[in-house]
Amino acid sequence: MSTDQAIRPEKEVTITRIYDAPKEMVFRAWTDAKQVAKWWGPEVFTNPVCEIDARPGGAILIHMQAPDGAIFIMTGMFKAVVEFDLITFSNQPQDAEGNALLEGFTSVTFEDEGGKTKLTVQSKMIGLVDFAPEMLAGMEMGWSQSLDKLGRLVNG
């Protein structure tokens, strides 16, 4: 069997959070690049490049920077943007040369819960490189830490 026909590793995570903020505020934190830059990625990462064009067909470009200075590039494209209710996008972590490491799809729903927001993130990633299983192993922790940071941002 050739490498192209090999079964590619996959991982899917679903995480739900309740934020003490109206869904309009939480939605904007996903669609405004300045806000996304404050919460995207694991706890110790920053986002020196964060470009968000939140409309169907709009591009996403985020450079996550680790404390040691290493840059992790993620590109993507918005598939659906339903104001205050739903965002779906493709996401593709890349190496420094622009080669895809993983291919993913993420869906984010925003529901009003009596003035609070119930946020549900569903993300599925497919590995494209030999070391993809190691990357996929950290997926749930990465999303959890990002959503913790988002909570601190929208909860004031």
Q: What is the pLDDT of residues 9-19, one digit of tens each?
A: 999 999 999 99
Q: How far is CA 149 from CA 12, 44, 57, 146, in A?
A: 21, 10, 27, 5
Strand order in the sheet with 59-65: 10-19, 116-127, 102-113, 86-94, 71-82, 59-65, 46-52
Global pTM reads 0.92
φ, ψ at 22 (rounded to 5°): -65, 150
Distance CA 74, CA 123 (A): 14
Domain 3-154 has CATH 3.30.530.20: yes
User: What integer pLDDT is reported at residue 26 of this predicted model?
Assistant: 98
- CA-nearest of 108, 107, 100 to 72 is 100
- Residue 42 near residue 142 (C-beta atoms within 8 A): yes
Return the bridge partners of 11, or none. Answer: 125
| 1 has a pLDDT exceeding 60 | no
- Extents of the domains making up the chain: 3-154
DSSP assignment letter at 85: T
User: What integer pLDDT is reported at residue 142 of this predicted model?
Assistant: 94
CB burial of residue 19 (10 Å; 0-12, 13-18, 19+): buried
Q: What is the pLDDT of residues 22-79, one digit of tens each?
A: 999 999 999 999 999 999 999 999 999 999 999 999 999 999 999 999 999 999 999 9
User: What integer pLDDT is reported at residue 132 of this predicted model?
Assistant: 94
| 4 has a pLDDT exceeding 70 | no
Q: What is the pLDDT of residues 70-117, one digit of tens each?
A: 999 999 999 999 999 999 999 999 998 999 999 999 999 999 999 999
User: What integer pLDDT is reported at residue 2 of this predicted model?
Assistant: 40
Return the bridge partners of 108, or none. Answer: 87, 121
Distance CA 149, CA 152 (A): 5
Residues 6+ apart with CB under 8 A from 7: none
User: What integer pLDDT is reported at residue 7 of this predicted model?
Assistant: 83
